[in-house]
Amino acid sequence: AAAEPAGAVRAACEAELALTQACLGANPKSYPVWYHRTWVLTWGGCGWAYARELKLTTKLLSLDERNFHCWTHRRFVVQLSKVAAEAELRFTTQKVEANFSNYSAWHYRSKLLPAMHAAADPAATAAASGALRAALLAELELLRNAFFTAPEDQSAWFYHRWVLSRLRPTGGGCGGGSGGGGGGQAREDASSVAEWASLLRGEAEVLRELRDVEPDAKWPLAALAHALALLGEAGAATEAEAAEREAALTSLCGIDPARRRYYEASLAGGASVEPEEAA
């Protein structure tokens, strides 16, 4: 069949976009409607509509930040229109600062930050890694605001674990293997472990402060136990820090009895505390 004239394709796309927008007004979480809208944008090559689509998702997410279909559609349009990751990071900053419970915005940041600092050239890997580390350290500051504002909300705490996992050294000196590679590598590993231990102790101090303010809150205590466990896994924990971790887990057995056996298993096994989704 002959290709449709460009004007006819655009008119058909506009009609479908208008129809689906009306449907979203009635049911903004309808998967079939979002799916069809995605298909229309792809089929029609609707570059003229991308900016409008982003405005639509911004509006709908301001009405319901937990509209996961809308978040997915936004990421799709961002990819199509090649919106800079930096611009989207600013958008997520606005969302989390408006509500620290916005799990989707935190999760999106975990995708944007590595993309922003990925090295296109292998020769630039070290510089990209350093830039990502600096960005992650800045995330810890943002997270502290969230912790003291909403200590019982799990969204920021899950993101905190992700940030720590990306900051954790990958060399052999951090519980990751036998190392090797000569004296230079050994010195580099030792330096990484010392820097990692210093970071964890800084986090632990913040978490102790929050625990003192919110003694019955689960998440600060679980995060403290996790940070101290990571110190132990790096071979850097003192006896006092190991004992503090055990005391935190013991307290969690009483504060969060539904997961008591889990904390007891962590005590017995010595592994870091993996927070679980709230029931």
Residues 6+ apart with CB under 8 A from 75: 108, 111
Q: What is the 3-state secondary structure (H, E, C) of 136-198?
A: HHHHHHHHHHHHHHCCCCHHHHHHHHHHHHHHCCCCHHHCCCCCCCHHHHHHHHHHHHHHHHH
Nearest 5°: the CA angle 5, 7, 11 is 120
pLDDT given for residue 178 in this prediction: 45
**8: its two tokens:** 């006819």
Separation between Cα atoms, residue 4 and residue 10, nearest integer Å? 10
Residues 6+ apart with CB under 8 A from 47: 81
pLDDT given for residue 121 in this prediction: 64
DSSP letter at 3?
Answer: P
Q: What is the mean pLDDT of each run of 10 residues along the chain (279 residues)?
A: 68 98 98 98 96 98 97 98 97 97 97 87 71 96 97 97 94 52 58 94 98 96 98 96 98 97 90 51
Separation between Cα atoms, residue 265 and residue 273, nearest integer Å? 10
Cα dihedral 207, 213, 219, 220, rounded to 10, equals 10
**3: its two tokens:** 């290709």
pLDDT given for residue 110 in this prediction: 97
pLDDT given for residue 5 in this prediction: 53
pLDDT given for residue 129 in this prediction: 86
pLDDT given for residue 191 in this prediction: 80
Residues 6+ apart with CB under 8 A from 125: 119
pLDDT, the chain, mean: 90
Q: Domain extents for the chain? A: 1-83
pLDDT given for residue 17 in this prediction: 98
Per the listing, tokens 């830039």 go with: 131
pLDDT given for residue 170 in this prediction: 81
Residues 6+ apart with CB under 8 A from 98: none
Taking CA atoms, 237 is separated from 10, 42, 186, 227, 229, in Å, by 64, 54, 19, 10, 8
**Predicted TM-score of the model (pTM):** 0.86
Long-range residue pairs from 251-255, CB within 8 A, at least 24 positions apart, any chain: 251/221, 252/218, 252/221, 252/222, 252/225, 255/216, 255/217, 255/218, 255/221
pLDDT given for residue 177 in this prediction: 46
pLDDT given for residue 278 in this prediction: 40
pLDDT given for residue 271 in this prediction: 58
Separation between Cα atoms, residue 135 and residue 138, nearest integer Å? 5
